[in-house]
Structures are given as structure tokens and as C-alpha cells.
Structure 1
Amino acid sequence: MDPRLLRTLISVARWESFSGAAEELGYTQSAVSQQIAALEAELGLPLLRRRPVRLTEAGARLLEHAGPLLLRIEAARADVRRAAAAPAHRLTIAASPLAVTPSVAGRLARARAAQPRLHVELKTAGRDGAATEVAAGRAELGLADGITAPSDPLRLPDTGPMTALGIAEEELVVALPPDHPLAGRSGLRLADLADAAWLQTSSCPLERLRQLVGDGFRHGLAYAGDDVHTVLNLVRAGHGLTLLPASVGEGVPLLGPRLVHRVELLHGALPGGPAAQVRDALAARPEAG
């Protein structure tokens, strides 16, 4: 299956328009139409209804596979290039918003001090985005964080061969408005808060809480950003509760169930050199925080 045709299908589905896809991809509208027709001929099924432009059931199923397939192809290219690349003195790290805990930041500082000529760029990506950036070769290392049971790995997208190593775990706190009746407690259990309104955030998705704990966790406000100060301001204003790593510093300790904030270091094949040395420094000694 031609990756170029899959990219065209994704673009048409996103725009719900052949002309919109043509403009995005730099093709003529007739070229887009021909590529979709070629894909439909290969599969022997209609993938799109034309007026208006909508995915058929078969098209929707193919679209579910298209993104992961293209990512795996991109990851394979990047993995081969990494294996043959000469060590460089530039390093890009893709990190999800709460992955750079004090412990991780300290280890990164020690790694940089040991390699003063190394230029490091740290860029923010979502948890899944950190894995995608590494798989696609746009970052040598990734740092992904999430809520999980102690020592349980994070659920990351399938991006092909990639090492994911837990490098930090810390306790969680429940962030509450200052005037909340439970704000003065020495500890809280999630079962006591299942009927409360909760923020929907990338760092504390409600579906993950329901998977780990059970039903409840009423939807409050959805925040699609990644700034922790905004999250805390929303909590203080009463838009909903959330869970945060204890190092953030505001909240009541979570007593049960036993959950932690986990950080994982992600990387593909790395040639010996600066990137591998930073990896070793970050992975050196898992510790709280």
C-alpha cells in the first residue's frame, strides 16, 4: 500500500474536501481524486462518498490504520539513519509537560556539565507525542510521564522498536480549591472524590482514572493546554479537581489507591557519543521525584 496514497486519504478526511487536501499537499485537485481512486481500486472498496465528502465505513477503518502505518514507516527510516549516524554535538529531547521533574532536571544538568560543548534543545510534546517525535527521528530522546500503578509501564503508542525505561516515580497529590471542605485533610482517597467534578487534562485524563479506579469522576472543564500554572488556577477557581505529582507542591497527598506519577525515558538505537551519554545519565539511578 503506497504511503503517499494513505497521506492523501488522511488529508481528504481531515478537510472533508478534495480541494482542501490538494492545497495542503501541493497537488492538483484531479491528482488527489486519482490517488483516492487508485487506493479504492487496490482495496476494491469505496473509501469516500463524494457529495458531501465523507468517509465510508471501510474508509473510516482504513483511516484508523493509516496514521500508525505511516508512523511505523517514518520510524523505520529514522531508526536506520540513527544506526548509521555519526555522533553529533546537538541533542533534541521531546518531553511531555510534567516529565521534567526536579530529579530528572538535576540528572540532565549533571549530564550537560559533563559535556559542556553539547547543545541541548528541550521541546514540549504530549505523552504520545514524545514517543512519536523519537520514532520519527525529530528527537534523539523522549521523556514521557503519566499516572500509573507503581512500576507499571506507561501505555504509549506502538511506534516500532523503542526502549522505554522508567527513570522516576513520585507520589501524587489531589489539587483542590483552597476553600474545599477536604482541603485541610492530611490525605485523601479517590473513592471519596469520585462524585466530584474533575478537570480533563493531558496529564490526568479522566478515562485513565476510570480504568485505574472505577466509575465516577464527573467531567468538569476540559483543558487542552500543558501549562501547570493554568491547571492550578482552574482548580483554585473551582472548575474541577485533578491529580498532580507531589513536586508541583500544591495538594493533599493521595492515600489510595496506590498510584504514582511515572516518568519514562524513550529512545531508539543510539550510536555511541553525546546522546548515549545523556541517556545513561538520565537512566543512571531511578529515584523519587
Structure 2
Amino acid sequence: MDPHLLRTFVTVAECGSFSAAASRLGYTQSAVSQHIAALESDLGTPLLRRRPVVPTAAGERLLEHAGPILLRLDAARADVRRTVADPPSTLTLAASPLATRSLATALAEVRRAYPGTETSLTVCGRDQVVAGIAAGTFTLGLVDGIATPTDPLNLTNAVQLRTTSVAHDALVVALPTTHPLARSGPGLSLGDLADARWIDAPDIAAPLATLRAAAGSDALRPAFTYYGTDLHTLLTLISSGHGLAVLPRSVVTPDLAAVSLTSPRLVHRTELLHGHLSDPAAEAVASALSDRE
């Protein structure tokens, strides 16, 4: 299976349009159509319906495989390039929104040791951080999430990334102080919240899909979904009564109630991600972050 054809297929499926995919990839629309036709011929089945442009059942199945395959190829390319490339002139960092809190002290130490180093920081979703590290777009990444107290974050099985625990925090249910559950004794379990009004903010709060898996229940469903990465906006939505969310205790402001999550036993973790490091400044940041916990 030609990975160029596979990447074209994924882009068309994401865009829902051959012309939009052609614009994103820098191809002609005719070339995109030829790529899809060649891939369908190779696999012996239609992968896309044309009006509207949506995957067939076979196309949906291929999409499940395509992400990990393309990520693995990007990671292999980046890993090989690291062995022959000169150290980058700019230290490129990426972090999920809540993971940025771990960076300030480490960067200050590196700035003192390597005063000429230029640094860039991209704040983005967790999946984008992982994909960017695998592809070599970023030198170092910080990503946060929830896990059991003894387990690392479950990031991806597609590639092997170097991970180091940086910080952990207790999880709480954040809700308005006027909420009936705001004074719920020693804490709350997810079972207590099956019928609650939830905000799903997958790039900031604990994603509801992850909480459902941890609780072994399909009952936790969003009343409001926030796809942004601004913590202040999420806290404002909670205080305004749009729903509750599970967050690390340290980020919940005093105007909200923060009730301990007692069951299942989960913690908020921040982990450092990277590939092979050849830049002394990057190694220094990694070392400073690794020494935090």
C-alpha cells in the first residue's frame, strides 16, 4: 500500500471534499482523484462515496489503520533525520494547555546556561503534541492526562516515544459553589455523577470518553462540549452552571467548589515526550523537567 495514496485518502476523508484535499496537499484535484482510484484498485473496493464525500464501510475500516501507519512512518523519517541533521537553531517545544505550568522554571534554567538559544512554544491538544513529537516537528513535548496512580499515560501504540514523568496532581470534580454536590463530604465517585450535567473539554479536562472507560459505564454524557484550549473559558463555563468537569486540584480557582474524586482511583499526570536528543539545550530542558517530580 503506497503511503502517499493513503495520506491522500485520509486528507479527503478529513476534508469531505476532493477539491479541499487538493488545496491542502498542494495537488491538482485530478491528481487527488487518481490517488483515490489507485488505492481503491489496489484494495479492490470503493473507499469513498462521492456525493457527499464520506468513507464507505471499508473506508472507515482503513481509517482506523491509517492514523497509526502514517504516524509510524513520520516517526521513522524524523528519527533517521535526527542522526544526520545539525542541531536546530530554535528549540521547538509543544505542550497541552495544562502541561505548560511545568515549563517556566526549566526554561529559565536553560536560558541561563544557553543564553543564545531561541525557543518557540506551541500550545495545542494532546494528540497534536504526540503527533508532532513523533514526526519531528517539535523537539520536546509536555502532555497531561489522567491515569491510575501507578500507570503512565496511555498516549499511543503506534510509535515508541521516550516518556518521563514530570508532575502529578490530585483530581477533583469542579462545579459551582451553589451546586447541590458542592459539599459532598469526603468526595465523589463517578458513579455518583452518572446523571450530572457534564462539560466535555477533551483538551483541558479529563475527557469524558476516558472517564467512561475508567468507570466502566456509558452513563457520563456531555451536555456541553468545549473544543478550545483556554482554561479560563472552561472555568467560566463551569461557574456559569453549564456543567461540571474533572480537573487537577491546582487549577481550580477559589470561586469554584473542588470536590475530591474518590473512585475510581485516578491522578492527573504530566509527562515529557521526545525522540533522540542531540541539542545540549534540549537535553538541559529534558533534564530540568525530569528532576521536578
Q: TM-score, normalised by structure 1?
A: 0.89
Deviations 1:40-73 (A, max 9, x none): 2222222233455443222222222223222221
Mapping 1:14-163, distance limit 5 Å: 14-101=14-101, 103-163=102-162
The answer as to 2:241 corresponding to 1:238 is: yes
Displacement, 1:253?
Answer: 4.1
**Cross-structure match for 1:273:** 280
The answer as to 2:257 corresponding to 1:254 is: no
Displacement, 1:89?
Answer: 4.6
- Evaluate the alpha carbon distance shift between residue 272 and residue 42 of structure 1 in structure 2; reply closer, same or farther with a 3 A threshold: same
Displacement, 1:174?
Answer: 1.8
Deviations 1:94-113 (A, max 9, x none): 10011123x55333333333
Deviations 1:197-237 (A, max 9, x none): 11101122112112222433342211111111111111111
Contact 2:18 2:32 in 1 (8 A): yes
Contact 2:90 2:117 in 1 (8 A): yes
**Cross-structure match for 1:180:** 179
> Using the alignment, how far apart are the partners of 1:55 and 1:194 within structure 2?
34
- Evaluate the alpha carbon distance shift between residue 233 and residue 73 of structure 1 in structure 2; reply closer, same or farther with a 3 A threshold: same
- Evaluate the alpha carbon distance shift between residue 187 and residue 110 of structure 1 in structure 2; reply closer, same or farther with a 3 A threshold: farther
Deviations 1:245-287 (A, max 9, x none): 122143424151222110010000111511112111111241x
The answer as to 2:191 corresponding to 1:189 is: no
**Cross-structure match for 2:12:** 12
Contact 1:22 1:32 in 2 (8 A): yes
* Secondary structure of 2:224's aligned partner: strand
- Evaluate the alpha carbon distance shift between residue 185 and residue 55 of structure 1 in structure 2; reply closer, same or farther with a 3 A threshold: closer
- Let me know the Cα RMSD of the aligned residues: 2.2
> Using the alignment, how far apart are the partners of 1:281 and 1:78 within structure 2?
24
* Secondary structure of 2:166's aligned partner: strand
Contact 1:171 1:245 in 2 (8 A): yes
Q: TM-score, normalised by structure 2?
A: 0.88
Amino acid in structure 2 at the alignment position of 1:246:
R
Contact 1:108 1:282 in 2 (8 A): no
Amino acid in structure 1 at the alignment position of 2:119:
V
- Evaluate the alpha carbon distance shift between residue 175 and residue 54 of structure 1 in structure 2; reply closer, same or farther with a 3 A threshold: closer
Contact 2:182 2:259 in 1 (8 A): no
* Secondary structure of 2:97's aligned partner: coil
* Secondary structure of 1:98's aligned partner: helix
Contact 2:88 2:279 in 1 (8 A): no
Unaligned runs of 5+ in 2: none
- Evaluate the alpha carbon distance shift between residue 116 and residue 138 of structure 1 in structure 2; reply closer, same or farther with a 3 A threshold: same
Moved over 4 A (4+): none
Number of residue pairs matched by the alignment: 285
> Using the alignment, how far apart are the partners of 1:231 and 1:29 within structure 2?
40
**Cross-structure match for 1:263:** 270
Displacement, 1:76?
Answer: 1.1
Contact 1:143 1:263 in 2 (8 A): yes
- Evaluate the alpha carbon distance shift between residue 116 and residue 187 of structure 1 in structure 2; reply closer, same or farther with a 3 A threshold: farther
Displacement, 1:153?
Answer: 1.2
**Cross-structure match for 1:226:** 229
Deviations 1:92-138 (A, max 9, x none): 1110011123x553333333333222222121121121111111111
> Using the alignment, how far apart are the partners of 2:28 and 2:232 within structure 1?
45
* Secondary structure of 1:100's aligned partner: helix
Amino acid in structure 1 at the alignment position of 2:272:
L
Deviations 1:152-188 (A, max 9, x none): 1111123423111111111122211121133245642
